[in-house]
Amino acid sequence: SQKIEQNSEALNIQEGKTATLTCNYTNYSPAYLQWYRQDPGRGPVFLLLIRENEKEKRKERLKVTFDTTLKQSLFHITASQPADSATYLCALDRDDKIIFGKGTRLHILP
Amino acid sequence: EPEVTQTPSHQVTQMGQEVILRCVPISNHLYFYWYRQILGQKVEFLVSFYNNEISEKSEIFDDQFSVERPDGSNFTLKIRSTKLEDSAMYFCASSEAQSGTEAFFGQGTRLTVV
């Protein structure tokens, strides 16, 4: 069955630095890969979607890469701020559903 | 900005009782989903719904669960004979298309089975 691994449960980054989160998956590559943000007690909020034929996607301070050969996506937040502290979820967009990884808890330290 | 709304925000129920969780998806969306998240664990897919029928369901979504779109706006999840292990956050989501588009999630219903 499809597995999604996000590199670490928690990540501490100094304010102003770039945070890089990793998502690896097994089995087949999805046509789309998505990243969501989840705050405690709240529902996931969509951030970015990247297609299998795209190498990179940017939105403001966010950047996502997608390497179907490595079966990996990297999610970058540049110039990180304490308000970026949250759990970030990698998600495979497959047919009639989105499958989520466990997420990485990101702490931006002031 | 359009949003998915869920009610109630918190539901406490006795083991063995039936609960109905309610959702109002975004009005022009055609695809609807239920997910659950047990405390400290990942967001898990339960079921997807399109054109008034289930399009896919997970192993979790057994005979204890059912979904319905009783009218043009509501989308419900019914859980029969609730068990302690059904305690979780339940999220409803909707999207415009089957794939390749963002899913909008509600704020969730926290179900506590006692």
| pLDDT surpasses 80 at B113 | yes
Q: How many CA atoms lie within 13 A of B77 on its CB side?
A: 32
Backbone angles phi, psi at B70, to 5 degrees: -70, -25
Those residues whose C-beta lies under 8 Å from the C-beta of residue B3, and which sit 6 or more positions away, are B26, B104, B106
Q: Is A28 on the interface with B (CB under 8 A)?
A: no
| pLDDT surpasses 80 at A43 | yes
Q: What is the mean pLDDT of chain A?
A: 93
Residue A30 confidence (pLDDT)? 85
In the sheet that holds B5-7, the strands lie side by side as: B5-7, B19-24, B75-79, B65-68
In which band, very low, low, confident or very high, does the pLDDT at A8 lie, cut at 50, 70 and 90?
A: confident
- DSSP, collapsed to helix, strand or coil, labels residue A84 as helix
Q: What is the rounded distance in angstroms from the CA atom of residue A100 to the CA atom of residue A33?
A: 10
DSSP bridge partners of B20: B78
Residue B76 confidence (pLDDT)? 98
Q: Which residues of A touch B42 (CB under 8 A)?
A: 89, 100-103
Q: Which helix (H) or strand (E) holds B109?
A: strand B109-113
In which band, very low, low, confident or very high, does the pLDDT at B47 lie, cut at 50, 70 and 90?
A: very high
Query: pLDDT by residue (tens digit) across B59-85?
Result: 999 999 999 998 878 999 999 999 999
Interface touch B100/A42, C-beta < 8 Å: no
Q: For residues B48 and A97, which has the higher predicted lDDT (pLDDT)?
A: B48
Q: Which residues of B touch A102 (CB under 8 A)?
A: 41-42
| pLDDT surpasses 90 at A38 | yes
Residue B67 confidence (pLDDT)? 97
Q: Is B90 on the interface with A (CB under 8 A)?
A: no
Q: Is A55 on the interface with B (CB under 8 A)?
A: no
Query: pLDDT by residue (tens digit) across A63-78?
Result: 999 999 999 999 999 9
- DSSP, collapsed to helix, strand or coil, labels residue A79 as coil
Q: Is A44 on the interface with B (CB under 8 A)?
A: yes
Interface touch A95/B99, C-beta < 8 Å: yes
- Count of CB contacts below 8 A, A vs B? 64
Q: Which residues of A touch B110 (CB under 8 A)?
A: 41
Q: What is the rounded distance in angstroms from the CA atom of residue A49 to the CA atom of residue A34?
A: 4
Those residues whose C-beta lies under 8 Å from the C-beta of residue B53, and which sit 6 or more positions away, are none
**Beta strands at A86-94 and A32-38: parallel, antiparallel or unpaired:** antiparallel
Residue B27 confidence (pLDDT)? 92
The whole-angstrom distance between residue A92's C-alpha and the CA centroid of its chain comes to: 10
Query: pLDDT by residue (tens digit) across A13-30?
Result: 999 999 999 999 988 778
